[in-house]
Structure 1
């Protein structure tokens, strides 16, 4: 269908619809989009109108059949003397109550079996409703328990949140202190690293190797002391030779003089010992 034909059908449908309602069609712009939307609505409206006409015709047909059946039943009742006008008021009232109950139970006749079946169906539905009600009550109790627990947990969380909010300021101050300490420690670390580099340079310059340990140094010191003990008499002797004159002859005379002094010292010591022995 072309756009022009669709627009013509939409205009005709709008005119009939608003005319039936006693109103005029409002002014608006007919765009391709609006025409397409209104044409879709028109199609749905016509389909629903046709369905409503079919249902109404069916209802009218059934009503006519029910009226004919009612007239026939009324004629039969009048022929057998059971017309409504000739019946006692209590019988009419009972019949109306019976008919109302049948309508309420949605049954087509008033036989006892139909009432029993309807009552059984109602009992089954009642049982189903009671079971569903029990399930709903159980679920409600469970949800109520969950709600109470959730409220208790929410209260606990609110109290915890309040405590945390109170601790925010001290924690922030402590964090600032830690930040300051970390900066100081970082500076100290850089300083110590630089000192370590300097010490390594000094050790490398001094010829330090990893084999030179404290134990090795202690052993070397003890060995040095032993050497000093062994070389001290030799050094003392050598120092005594430093007093000798550089000339060989003079040196020989000096040596003889030393020997004489040594002999005099031995003689003096011997005399002292002899005199000490004589005295004792």
Structure 2
């Protein structure tokens, strides 16, 4: 990178010094015009740039103000000369303001005030009509805008009333909910306690279920042995007991007879045969009941 040109550095330094001098001079004149003293502050590059931009804008506005003031002074001179010429003409024709009746002067003054109010430059009837038409159009436009604003205001008022009613309802609901918090908390605590008790009971019942299931497995219970099957088997057992009861009574009666070995053997064989037939019948009934259950 090449070194900066010394002549350029000197030019920049001179420019900054000139700018600072111009800013100081401008601040001094501005504060003196206001009857105040320039406050002490540090002239940093940033503050100098900002103040110089303000100085430039202020000078531009001062120049513009001087031009406008000069233009106004010229117009005032022209208006005064024109007023003097018109006054001279009116005096020559006998229409000077001092010689006119008071009612004519007041009417002319009122006419001039109306012209100023309507912002017209002359007192021609056409100018008044145009100005009045323009005011009428503006009035119509303002009435239309006023109607729209009134309609919008009515809608907003309706919305506001509804919003206030909803806010009141929400506040009332909130207060009611706040009042219900304490009872609901008590109820929740009761439900929590009941749930804990129910959970403990569930664990207890599950353990009992497991124990009963293990007990049924130990005794050989199977799903085929249902309550209906057991009831049917009990009924068949009662029937068999009824059928075997006479045989048992007969056998008991034989015990009272004197012993006869051959007859006793025959009788025993006969009873064994009858008992075996009864057992086969019982087995057949059981198998039939199990088959019907399947």
Query: Same-fold call, TM > 0.5?
Result: yes
Separation in structure 1 between the aligned mates of residue 266 and residue 210 of structure 2, nearest angstrom = 66
Q: How many residues align?
A: 250
2:147 matches 1:134: yes
Q: Which residue of 2 aligns with 1:101?
A: 114
2:199 matches 1:186: yes
Q: What 5-or-longer segments of structure 2 have no aligned partner?
A: 1-11, 269-294
2:173 maps to which of 160, 178, 181: 160
Separation in structure 1 between the aligned mates of residue 176 and residue 204 of structure 2, nearest angstrom = 41
2:81 matches 1:68: yes
2:264 matches 1:258: yes
**Any idea what the Cα deviations from partners look like across 1:195-249, whole Å, max 9, x if unmatched?**
334444445555556566545555666677788889999999999xxx9xxxxxx
Q: What 5-or-longer segments of structure 1 have no aligned partner?
A: 244-252, 263-280
Alpha-carbon distance, 1:115 to partner: 0.6
Q: Which residue of 2 aligns with 1:87?
A: 100
Q: TM-score, length-normalised on structure 2?
A: 0.66
Separation in structure 1 between the aligned mates of residue 21 and residue 244 of structure 2, nearest angstrom = 137
Separation in structure 1 between the aligned mates of residue 32 and residue 125 of structure 2, nearest angstrom = 54
Alpha-carbon distance, 1:158 to partner: 3.2
Q: Which residue of 2 aligns with 1:196?
A: 209
Q: Which residue of 1 aligns with 2:90?
A: 77
Separation in structure 1 between the aligned mates of residue 227 and residue 52 of structure 2, nearest angstrom = 106
**Any idea what the Cα deviations from partners look like across 1:100-156, whole Å, max 9, x if unmatched?**
110111001101111111112222222233333333333334333333333333333
Q: 1:85 to 1:172 in 2, by over 3 A?
A: same
Q: CA RMSD in A?
A: 3.9
Report the more deviating stretch, 132-141 or 208-217: 208-217
Larger radius of gyration: 1
**Any idea what the Cα deviations from partners look like across 1:162-196, whole Å, max 9, x if unmatched?**
33333222222111111111222222223333333
Separation in structure 1 between the aligned mates of residue 159 and residue 20 of structure 2, nearest angstrom = 60
Separation in structure 1 between the aligned mates of residue 109 and residue 205 of structure 2, nearest angstrom = 111
Q: TM-score, length-normalised on structure 1?
A: 0.69
